[in-house]
């Protein structure tokens, strides 16, 4: 039995019912939901007091899953991702099969293929992408430790993962690049 199996089961229950989870990722703690559920995504925008035009990241368990959520991705991205050691979020053109309120006004979607063991298990068992947005109110800095997360954020979700709450190392957000269909990456955040 995996050490976080109870957390996975509870997360699945909440995600399948359209609820919100607070969970650790390979970067910082995130607020998550079913990335294919418009109503669940709207709950995150409301909780974070975030404008809906500011899109959020989705997490996938495997590189091949990008083919499901991006129409005609440039396959060079797979080689590019392999050469990066830190977590990287890629903004792709041609979003498909996700909640409409996750898609940028220009038709883009931000995706990170997760390396964290907990998140990989969760996404594989859920069989859909999960939203990942920092566990803070819009325009506030992201909390680097679980204990730094605002109590109102904690009370605004349906389940808080117990796994890794005691981690004491400062986390950092992922790098972000935009991958244009012409195969030229633009670095947005290192």
Q: How many C-beta neighbours within 10 Å does residue 148 have?
A: 14
Return the CATH fold of 5-189: DHBP synthase (3.90.870)
Across the range 77-103, mean pLDDT stands at: 88
Question: How crowded is the C-beta side of 43, counted as CA atoms within 13 Å?
Answer: 21
Enter the pTM of the model. Answer: 0.94
Q: Look at residue 144 in the predicted model and tell me its pLDDT.
A: 86
Q: Look at residue 1 in the predicted model and tell me its pLDDT.
A: 56
Q: What are the beta bridge partners of residue 34?
A: 130
Calculate the CA dihedral of residues 133, 8, 60, 70 and round it to 10 degrees: -90
Q: How far is CA 134 from CA 78, 163, 184, in A?
A: 25, 17, 27
Q: Which sequence spans correspond to the domains of the chain?
A: 5-189
CA distance 89 to 149: 22
Q: Does 100 have pLDDT greater than 60?
A: yes
Q: What is the mean pLDDT of the chain?
A: 92
Residue written as token pair 């079913």? 34
CA distance 45 to 169: 28
Sign of CA dihedral 117, 138, 101, 82: negative
Across the range 41-66, mean pLDDT stands at: 93
Which of 50, 16, 19 is closest to 32 using CA atoms?
19
Across the range 7-20, mean pLDDT stands at: 98
Tell me: the pLDDT tens digits for 118-131? 999 999 999 999 99
Output the 3-class SS for 49-104: CCCCCCCCEEEECCHHHHHHHECCCCCHHHHHHHCCCCCEEEEEECECCCCHHHCC
- 23-37, 53-67, 118-132, 165-179 — which is least confidently predicted? 165-179
Across the range 87-112, mean pLDDT stands at: 94
Tell me: the pLDDT tens digits for 145-160? 999 999 999 999 999 9
Tell me: the pLDDT tens digits for 74-83? 878 778 777 7
For 56-79, letters b (16+ CB in 10 Å) and e give: bbbbbbeeebbeebbeebbeebee
Which of 10, 101, 124, 112 is closest to 55 using CA atoms?
101
Q: Look at residue 31 in the predicted model and tell me its pLDDT.
A: 98
Residue-level length of the chain:
190
């Amino acid at each position: 039995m995996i050490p976080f199996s109870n957390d996975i089961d509870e997360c699945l229950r909440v995600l399948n019912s359209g609820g919100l989870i607070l969970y650790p990722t390979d970067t910082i703690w995130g607020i998550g939901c079913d990335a294919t559920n418009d109503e669940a995504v709207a709950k995150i925008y409301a909780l974070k007091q975030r404008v809906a035009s500011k899109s959020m990241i989705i997490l996938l368990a495997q590189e091949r899953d990008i083919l499901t959520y991006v129409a005609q991705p440039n396959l060079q991205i797979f080689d590019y991702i392999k050469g990066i050691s830190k977590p990287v979020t890629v903004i792709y053109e041609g979003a498909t099969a996700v909640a409409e309120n996750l898609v940028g006004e220009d038709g883009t979607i931000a995706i990170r293929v997760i390396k964290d063991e907990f998140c990989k298990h969760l996404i594989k068992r859920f069989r859909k992408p999960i939203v990942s947005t920092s566990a803070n109110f819009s325009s506030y800095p992201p909390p680097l430790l679980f204990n730094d997360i605002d109590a109102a954020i904690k009370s605004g979700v349906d389940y808080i993962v117990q796994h890794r709450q005691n981690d004491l190392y400062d986390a950092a957000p992922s790098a972000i690049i935009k991958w244009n269909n012409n195969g030229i990456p633009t670095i947005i955040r290192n």
